[in-house]
Chain A
Amino acid sequence: MSARDVTEALYVWTPFLAGGFIWNVLVSLCAMAIGTLLGAVLATMRLSHRRATVRASLVATGLTRNIPTFVFLFYLAFLIPVEIELGGHLYAFPAWLKASLALAVAVIGFVSDNLSEALRRWRSHDHAAALMFIPNWTSYFLVIVMASSTASVIGVGELVARCNTVIGAVGKPELMLWIYLYAMLWFFLCCYPLTLLMRQVKTWMSRRLPQRTPELVPA
């Protein structure tokens, strides 16, 4: 394939691939929503006055830290049925939701750690430091967008899965390298500028702080 053939093939398939990337974003947003909700519960539990509540939250948070998302993805894919029957109605349990649930586990741990810290600061009227949670959360969202590419292995039609579809449909193995690189470019162009922006926001925010807060690194 000449450079021109490659460019043409990439151009023709771009709308299809873009549709896949929308799935990456949707799966990630859903994972962030579920994870933030449950993580917030754990974070508030950590600030409780009752020692048992705090300990329960710490154990649960530790658990979410030890569960490998990629393995959990397979776990859910195999063990949650495709359709769930409720009141005579069949409700589909789509693969993308399973992917969101698996990714949400990592988000729970992240939110539990970071939000409890932010809440603590808020209560001690250190509001500016507490708001640091927002850029941290956004940076973590980008980590999850990249991780959402693994949803392809359980059959979610996101960007990477669609790359495989295109390779199969075009039937030219020479295209493989270029199409995977093209998909990488998509992720890079989405994540890199936003990460830079969030770093900018954090620097700007920490300048307004009386003291330097320790860097919160998403894990």
Chain B
Amino acid sequence: MSPLPARAALIAVAFLAGIVSAQANRLDTIRARGAVAVGVKTEYPPFGMLDGAGRSVGFEPDLAADLSRRLKVELHLVPVTTANRLQKLAEGSIDVLIATLGDTKQRREIAALIEPDYYASGVNVMLPESRKVADWTELRGNTLCTMQGAYYNRPMTERYLLNLQIYNGTRDAKLAMRDGRCDGWLYDDTAIAGEMRAPEWRDYAMPLPSLMLSPWAIAIEKSEEGGDLDRLIGDAVADWHRSGFLVELERKWQLKPSAFLQHAHAQWSEKDDDGAFVCARGAGGSWPARCRDEARANSEGKSRLEQIGLRIRELTGLDLTLVYDSYDRDQFLRGLLTSIALVIACVLGSALMGAAGAVLLDARIAVISRAVGAIATVGRMTPPLLQIYVVVFGLGSVTARWGLTPNAFLAVTLCLSLYAGSACAVALTEAADLLRQHRPDFRIVPRTVPLAFRLAYHPIVAALVNIVKATGMASAVAVPELISTSTGIIAERGNPEVMMNALMVAYFLLVLVVIRLFGHLHRWIVADERA
């Protein structure tokens, strides 16, 4: 056992060493580790998907394999989703991200996007074949399924006034489209083309022209911008364009030949009179202006509030888009309102189910009371999240055959009300048992519910407060409440600190208000009893 001060000093040294080694660049870390972790998609055929044995394959895993060959290290493919890919990059669980990431100005602020871009796609919509549209403006007010964190969500909403239903992943958005929850599926044109090869989409079409053509970039952590890794990967991509490697891969994975790759191949192979590549790195390490994407130099006008917000971000590193950006602010407020609506619906639903359940249980009608008892037991002894999945996805896939789809908001309200309502019903019947000790003929009927409620007040309020806290589960089935909107903003902005704290404070206050209201109710009941 070493004496305490010595041990403290040892720990301090260990921390310092940690800080020093944290400054070492990523390329050295990769080489020291002997492996590079590359984030790729698993549900975006043919760019990133799983083969029969569960291995990642596709256009992008092929690029990752070539990169690891160039780095002379082993390759670890890490599955990522649209919603978590930049988060995984920022927290360091992957070194490189090759996951259909559109090159946008905003993303360049939260990650280092490698120049040049390696592919390009646009946004398009998959519609039932029967739906004849010739122009995007005809879709105004239509409900389209989409995925959280997609770069086109916001501009498409603003430009064409679409009503978006935002899902956590491709699978959920796809199922929702198939079950008829939305009029169309807003997605990447390359991905829709890939999907439509499957027979299940026989009656669907992609009649509109692609919009917002966006080049795709490989990304590394922001702090690595301009570093060795940035340079190495940039050179690799330039080489892929020159050698025709990308065009070859496009053919291998049976993609429609894209104009972007043709153009890039010609551009990057062009040589000047001395036989040197026109697109070669200059003295500072950057590519010549004519080889760079024009969007990289673009800037847009900013309002006064936005300027203040950006200034705060420069000074403190906190991105308060929630305050200065009207789109994010509206989203968050709408999320808050949806959460409040859910809270009210679930509390009323639970109270109603609890009262009705207790009356039926205490009525002792042979079959019905038994059945209610069984439902209440299942309701309490299974996780509410699973109940929600069963109703929304399980029953949804069955009822879709008749063109019916359960509304996610109602489904969540129903499941959470069942869960808390079961607890309330049991608490009421237990209170009735106590009451019977003095009044043997006591029965719970609608008129005597308040009497039993007074006795069962504490367990019932505990169950109701619990259900208020659990309303966040609605985010798992794409109800646009607080958690959904907060993670959506993080996916676009990369500001988890601000958004998660805002979310936590909002929910904390919501719970506090509910507890206060129940406190008032209690005081009112007590005063009523005294009167």
Contact = CB atoms under 8 A, between A and B. Distances in A.
Nearest to A142: B381
A195 interface: yes
A74 B491 CA distance: 13
Interface in B6-54: 13-15, 17-18, 21-22, 43, 50, 54
Interface in A129-165: 146-147, 149-150, 152-153, 155, 160, 163-164
Interface string A86-101: 1110000000000000
Interface string B372-399: 0000011001110111011001110110
A67 B469 CA distance: 8
Given A81-B92, A174-B397, A219-B463, A147 B383 contact: yes
A181 B383 contact: no
A85 B21 contact: yes
A188 B381 contact: yes
Nearest to A190: B381
Nearest to A173: B397
Given A168-B171, A180-B394, A187 B381 contact: yes
7 contacts: A71-B507, A78-B490, A150-B383, A152-B385, A173-B397, A178-B394, A184-B378
A88 B21 contact: yes
Contacts of B382: 146, 184, 187-188, 191
A215 B88 CA distance: 46
B472 A70 contact: yes
A71 B472 contact: yes
A2 interface: no
A81 B397 contact: no
Contacts of B17: 87-88
Contacts of B500: 74-75, 78-79
B441 interface: no
Given A67-B511, A149-B385, 15 more contacts: A68-B507, A71-B507, A72-B504, A78-B500, A82-B93, A83-B91, A86-B14, A150-B473, A153-B385, A160-B385, A168-B43, A181-B394, A184-B382, A184-B383, A192-B381
A66 interface: yes
Contacts of B389: 160, 163, 180
Contacts of B458: 217
A interface, size bucket: 35 or more
Contacts of A85: 18, 21-22
B interface, size bucket: 35 or more
A184 to B, nearest CB: 5
A36 interface: no
Contact of B387 (A153, A184, A215): A184
B390 A86 contact: no
B445 interface: no
A177 interface: yes
B430 interface: yes
A176 interface: yes
Contacts of A116: none
A177 B486 CA distance: 29
A215 B496 CA distance: 42
A177 B390 contact: yes
B371 interface: no
Given A74-B487, A78-B490, A149 B383 contact: yes
A74 B508 CA distance: 14
A106 B1 CA distance: 36
B406 interface: no
B476 interface: yes
Given A70-B470, A83-B92, A177-B395, A149 B497 contact: no
Nearest to B93: A82
Nearest to B387: A184
Contacts of B363: none
B427 interface: yes
B208 to A, nearest CB: 27
A163 B393 CA distance: 12
B56 to A, nearest CB: 14
B18 A87 contact: yes
B508 A86 contact: no
B62 to A, nearest CB: 22
Contacts of A87: 13-15, 17-18
B525 interface: no
B503 A177 contact: no
A82 B93 CA distance: 6
Contacts of B473: 70, 150
B75 to A, nearest CB: 19
B255 interface: no
B483 interface: yes
B411 interface: no
A69 interface: yes
Contacts of B511: 66-68
B87 interface: yes
B500 to A, nearest CB: 5
A183 interface: yes
B430 A176 contact: no
B266 interface: no
Contacts of A191: 381-382
**Residue from the set A74, A152, A174 with the largest chain B CB neighbour count within 10 Å:** A74
Nearest to A185: B382
Contacts of B472: 68, 70-71, 74
B385 A150 contact: yes
Interface string B456-476: 001100110110111011011
B344 interface: no
Contacts of A152: 385
Contacts of A88: 14, 17-18, 21
